Amino acid sequence: MDGTAHNAAANPFAGLDIENKVVDVLRTVYDPEIPVNIYELGLVYDVQVDGNGTVNIRMTLTSPMCPVAGSLPLEVEEKVRKIPGVTRVNVDVVWDPPWNPDMMSEAARLELGFF
């Protein structure tokens, strides 16, 4: 081995690097009814990357009746799967805690006129 291995076992920061890339990708996913990405909306509750490149995402939707309930988690999975180093993606849609506008980032609140 030449010491340039870039897997999570050889590089303890590899998981953090993948996690940062996941967040960047999540910022490209939008609920079509709201002009703010799902990360800034506060729909993503947790992102974890294990040493094998498995990404676990815990997220919610604005409501259980959201018209993109079937497609938005699939879009998240497809986009995250394309990140180098990601071997598997698990998207878990949860309803607890229920999403509310207080979960939005300050930038999202400004964008949507919530003060």
**Closest to 77 measured CA to CA, from 61, 54, 50, 97:** 54
Which domains does the chain carry?
Answer: 14-101 (3.30.300.130)
pTM of the model: 0.84
pLDDT of residue 15: 64
Write down the pLDDT at residue 7: 43
pLDDT in tens, the chain (115 residues): 333 333 444 455 566 799 999 999 999 999 888 889 999 999 999 999 999 999 999 999 998 888 888 899 999 999 999 999 999 999 999 999 999 999 999 999 999 998 6
> Taking the CA of residue 47 as centre, how many other CA atoms within 13 Å lie in the half-sphere pointing to its CB?
22
Residue 74: C-alpha distances to residues 15, 70, 92, 100 (Å): 22, 7, 11, 22
Question: How, if at all, do strands 44-49 and 88-93 pair?
Answer: unpaired
Check residue 18 and give its pLDDT: 94
